[in-house]
């Protein structure tokens, strides 16, 4: 997939707004237009590699975060989990990595911020994840080399359990801000 720039996302939103206006006037089915607009603003990654014990151990080493439900299977089972669960912040980091690998902003993403992450279901060692980002808003930053794109990010397990839901804020470069080689 070719990298998308701010103008690409803005055009999709503007085209969608025009189509919604046509639906309001009765010239098109509103439900069909909403599906079309949302469909053009959704990005899905492929599956990750399986999450390994080594990845979790490296996370522990780097962060010092060794909460017992992530590091002690017996403790985790006492709280209703079938085994140790993968640390949520590791899931968030892996989700971001997947979107960098497979997502539309590989060459144009300037800054990414996470907001309001909700952990919905545990993820276990050996499982795989994929990510779905949905554009929920854009803002042109006049005079800046980037625009702002707001998304809702959902991380799912390979068997389609929703693991996390969060809001993301991206600053996405504008095409004319990239110097010619």
Q: What's the pLDDT tens digit per position in 153-181? A: 999 999 999 999 999 888 888 877 776 65
- Which tokens is 74 given? 């017996």
- Residue 55 pLDDT more than 70? yes
The Cα–Cα gap between 146 and 142 comes to 8
Q: Are 138 and 147 in contact (CB under 8 A)?
A: yes
Strands 109-119 and 42-44: unpaired
| DSSP 8-state secondary structure symbol assigned to residue 124 | B
Beta carbons within 10 angstroms of residue 145's beta carbon: 14
Q: Are 53 and 70 in contact (CB under 8 A)?
A: no
Instruction: Write out pLDDT tens, residues 98-151.
Output: 888 887 777 777 777 777 899 999 999 999 999 998 888 788 888 888 888 888
Structural domains of the chain, ranges and CATH numbers in brackets: 6-51+87-177 (3.10.129.10)
Q: Are 91 and 149 in contact (CB under 8 A)?
A: no
| DSSP 8-state secondary structure symbol assigned to residue 165 | E
**Quick one: pLDDT at residue 38?**
42
3-class state of residue 116 by DSSP: strand
Q: Are 153 and 119 in contact (CB under 8 A)?
A: no
* Closest listed residue to residue 161, CA positions, set 118, 122, 117: 122
Structural element, H or E, at residue 166? strand 162-173
The whole-model pTM stands at 0.78
Q: Are 67 and 139 in contact (CB under 8 A)?
A: no
């Amino acid at each position: 997939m070719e990298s998308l720039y701010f103008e690409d996302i803005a055009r999709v939103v503007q085209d969608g707004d025009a189509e919604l206006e046509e639906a309001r006037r009765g010239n098109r089915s509103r439900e069909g237009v909403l599906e079309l607009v949302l469909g053009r603003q959704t990005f899905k990654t492929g599956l990750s590699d399986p999450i390994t014990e080594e990845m979790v151990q490296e996370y522990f080493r780097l962060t010092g975060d060794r909460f017992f439900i992530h590091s002690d299977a017996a403790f985790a089972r006492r709280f209703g989990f079938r085994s140790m669960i993968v640390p949520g912040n590791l899931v968030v980091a892996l989700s971001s990595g997947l979107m960098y690998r497979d997502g539309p902003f590989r060459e144009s993403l300037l800054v990414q911020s996470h907001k309001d992450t909700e952990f919905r279901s545990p993820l276990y060692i050996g499982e795989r994840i994929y990510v779905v980002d949905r554009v929920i808003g854009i803002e042109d930053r006049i005079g800046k080399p980037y625009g702002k794109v707001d998304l809702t990010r959902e991380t799912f397990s390979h068997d389609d359990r929703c693991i996390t839901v969060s809001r993301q804020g991206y600053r996405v470069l504008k095409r004319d801000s990239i110097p010619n080689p």
